[in-house]
Structure formats: C-alpha cells, structure tokens
Amino acid sequence: MRIAYLDRTVHETDSEPKPNGDVSAISKSIDLQGSFETGDKTTIASKDFGGLYSTKPLALIKPAGSDDISRFIKAASRIPRMTVAARGNGHSINGQAMTNGGLVIDMRSTEENHFRLLNINGSFFIDVSGGALWENVLTRCVSRFGLAPRSWTDYLSLTVGGTLSNAGVSGQAFRYGPQISNVTELEIVTGKGDITVCSETRNPKLFFGSLGGLGQFGIITRARVKLQPAPDMVRWIRVVYTEFDEFTRDAEFLVSRDDGESFDYVEGFVFCNNDDPVNGWPAVPLDPVHGFNPGIIPQTGASVVYCLEVAFHYQKGDHPSTVDKAVAGLLKRLRFVEGLKSQVDLSYVEFLLRVKRAEEQAKANGIWDAPHPWLNLFISKSNIVEFDQTVFKKMVKDGIGGPMLIYPLMRSKWDNRTSVALPDSEIFYLVALLRFVSRGPSVEESVAQNREIVEWCIKEGLDFKLYLPHYQSKEEWKLHFGNQWTRFVERKASFDPMAILAPGQNIFKRTHLS
C-alpha cells in the first residue's frame, strides 16, 4: 500500500479544478454576522503547523456563531466542486485544516460563544465552544470553579473541536480514555448546514461519528466536557531504563492498575545514548540544577535508552511525608536505573502547560515556525518490541531533532462506537516522532524516513494505525478503517451527502466518496 500522504512534494500547490461561481456572491447571498475575507487576508489559512504544504483558499470566514456557519455551508453546497474546511488553531500537520480554492472557516472567532458550568445529578460538566483553546478552558475552570477536564493533550493551544475530531491523547488517557471518551454532548453544524445537538441517546450516529471523525460529519461548535476536582500540585518524575523490556513492563504495569494504585499520568520517550542536546542525555533532567550522569548507565552499548515519565497529583494541604511515601511506594515497584531519577514539584496548571513553555523557548530561538514532518502511530503491544528493534534502535538511533514519544494506552478506555480506528490488542502504544526540521534532518529526509517506517510496518504485517491519518486514495482509507469502513461511509453520507466537508487532500473531497 502506498502511504500517499507521506509522499507529497513539500510546499506543493494543488492543481485541482477550481469551483465554479463567484465567491463574492456567497457573502452577498447570506446575512453573515461575522466577517468574510479574501485576498491577502486569507494568508493565515494557506499554511499550518506542519509547514509542509501551502494551499490558497478562495476566502476565510470568521463566523459569529453556529448560525453563520450553517448559512455559509448551505450557500457553499450550491457551488459545484466547492469544499469547506474548519480551521482551529492551525496545528494540523498534513493540511487537514486547509482547502485549495475552497472556503476556510476560522473557528477561533467563536471561542467566547459558550462557557457554562453545569451540575447534572451531582456531576459537573462545562459547555465550551468548539473554537476555544484547551489552555483557556483549563485556566478558567481551575481559577473559577476548582475543577478541570479529566483528559488532555500534551499541547493545549489546540481547539476543543480540533482535538475531538481526532481523539485527544495524553498521559491521562490510560485512566480516563482520550478526550473523546469524556464528552457527553455536542452541537454540530453538519455538511447539510443543519445545526444539530447530539449525544449518546440523541442523534447517536452523528455524536459517535463526529468523535474522532476527522471533521467529516460536521463542524463541532459546542462540546459538553466532563469535569472533576482539580489537584493543586503535581510531582513530575522521570526515570531511566536501558532495557526496553523493563521499560515496557513497568509502563504497562502502571497503566493497568486501578485508580488510586498508580500515578495520575504515564508517558515515556526514547533518547539517544549520547550528549546530543535535543535527543540525548541533556533532554532528560527536569531539574536544570542537577544534570544527567551518563556514567551511571550500564555499559550495554545500546544506541538508545528510555525514559518513563510519570506524575502524582496532590493538594497543598497534604503533608509532604504523605506525598513522599505514596510516590516512593509506587517507584519501588519499578526497575529503572538507580541514580537516574529526576523530579520537580509544580502546580497542576503549570504541569499541564509544560509544552507552552517549550513553545515560548522555541519561538524565541526561531525554530517554532520550521516545518514539522511529524509521524504519529498506534502500535499493538504484540509488535512494539519489533518496532523498537528496527525503528528506534536502527532507523532513528541518531535522533530526529525532536521528541520521540512512546507510551501504552488501554483499548478498553476507548468507545468503539466512535470513528477512531485502533489496533486490535487491549494494550497498544502511541509512538510519536515529533521532528523539528531546523535542528535535525532536512524536510525531504524526514518525510522519506517517515515513509520508510510506515512502509516497513506494512511489509512486516504489524498491527498498527496512523494517528491523525491522512491518505489520498479510497483503498488506503478502507484499509485504515477496516471493518469500520462501511459504517463510516454510511454515517458520512447521512450528514454530508455532497462531501463538502473535506479537510486536507483526501478521498472525502467532494464527489470522491462513492
């Protein structure tokens, strides 16, 4: 199978037929409360965080709310070959928030439309806009109510609608499931332009189809998210392993424990057994005062070593000895290298915004805007050793210029009624190669290596799925969804029969679904 989305020319401009009709006629035909922008004002919508492709839209719409989006989609559907893409904060990698010669809806203009706390039968929820950033949801919920959503992504400058259209995964997902497992209601503007409220019992096909549905069923304008009491503090810990089997044993042990018998966050990453400032020993310590002592690492000759990253929540009123005892009790069950433990205590909000600080540093150093040919995979537990031996120990053993994440997730925490395609095993791993081209291999080399990794997975018959999938052919999408394909297509046809909702260059572009 050819993984076309990894094989495109960087900064290619698509040459698909342009839609018929005068785009200005759309703005004149409907009573938009928001703004309608063309020309140079659409530049922001012509690129994304990935920085791999550039496609120019006909217009950028900044809606005032769901009514604007509804009217706009209905008008756009009457123009042949027109496509519409929703753009959150533009953090997609492969052009999912862009459309060549189509119309882009900037969801950030709707951020303030919804923010309401609800108490339903003693449980707390927050209604938030699809265009709201998770970092703002976090800070407002904690500061106003002492509550917070249960599941996160590592980077929170993403919109609610954007992550719910994919899954939303981080180190809390082993316990609470991804973000899509922590939503009870959505308001969606479908591809027909209908404003529809849906839940598990109300319009369930649209509800479950949209969760992880890659924006193919409609545009999420409001979400009802589960909340829980927010802790005050977090003890953030990193421990090091030289043996992959011991690293995976401990990680799987922690994510398989019941609530209250493990850490509150579990992730991990691979780093090079050298002094490379990005992918080597200096990347491990949390406390800058105490560096990394490579002399403690057993002389195994391994090209890469592993770091297990965990966090323990507590309240300011908890006695320090109580926290120390609980953490020590969990750590004593693990087989990490003695002497290679790093930890720091910080507030809950600071911990969740940890990548924000890295972003600020990257922007100051001028590397944040570099291309990001990232690769994200879900790999079955049954294949993760093989993946380590070939990919981590050989293909990327010299680093990639950015983090190489790996940590286990529990399939039972995911609702199989959603649109997300997963490996078959109960435990599977998220693997993320988060490349920053300015400090690693070139864009072309990075894209080629990503393609090589995926093609190797296919050749060896690994049980894996692309996360944030992006293909160009129907055959590739059918293989990705497997036995979910028919259900996905039937749901899609019900809510967007003309396939007008079409992020990125994939088969769901208009008229390509049959």
| CATH match of 111-229 with 1.20.58.220 | no
Indicate where the chain has its CATH 3.30.43.10 domain(s).
12-106+491-505
Average pLDDT over residues 32-53: 89
| Residue-level pLDDT at 1 | 31
Domain with CATH 3.40.462.10 in the chain: 233-466
Judged against a pLDDT cut of 70, whether residue 469 lies above it is answered with yes
User: Given this model, what pLDDT does residue 341 score?
Assistant: 95
Tokens of 70: 């509804």
pLDDT interval class at 19 (50, 70, 90): low
Tell me which fold the domain 12-106+491-505 belongs to: 3.30.43
**pLDDT tens-digit profile of 354-372?**
999 989 988 888 888 899 9
Residue 232 annotated in active site: no
- Provide the 10 A C-beta neighbour count for residue 221: 28
pLDDT at residue 23, as a whole number: 66
Q: Which of 37, 48, 68, 91 is catalytic?
A: 91
Known catalytic residue at 154: yes
User: With 50 as the cut, is the pLDDT of residue 505 above it?
Assistant: no
From the candidates 14, 16, 67, 154, which is the catalytic residue?
154
More confident site: 426 or 33:
426
Confidence check: pLDDT of 155 > 90: yes
Range(s) within the chain of domains with CATH label 3.30.465.10: 111-229
pLDDT at 79: 85
pLDDT digits (tens, 9 = 90+) for 176-209: 999 999 999 999 999 999 999 999 999 999 999 9
259 catalytic? Reply is no
Second CATH level (architecture) for the domain 233-466: 3-Layer(aba) Sandwich (3.40)
pLDDT classification of 5: cutoffs 50, 70, 90: very low
Choice among 68, 267, 388, 476 that is catalytic: 267
Q: Is the pLDDT of residue 305 over 60?
A: yes
Asked if residue 461 has pLDDT above 90, the reply is: yes
pLDDT at 314: 98
pTM: 0.93
Distance CA 254, CA 13 (A): 46
What are the backbone dihedrals phi and psi of residue 116, each rounded to the nearest 5 degrees, phi first? -140, 125
Average pLDDT over residues 53-68: 92
CB 374 within 8 A of CB 284: no
What pLDDT sits at residue 511? 41
**In sequence order, what are the residues at sequence separation of 6 or more whose Cβ sits closer than 8 angstroms to the Cβ of residue 98?**
45, 46, 47, 48, 53, 55, 57, 85, 87, 92, 104, 503, 504
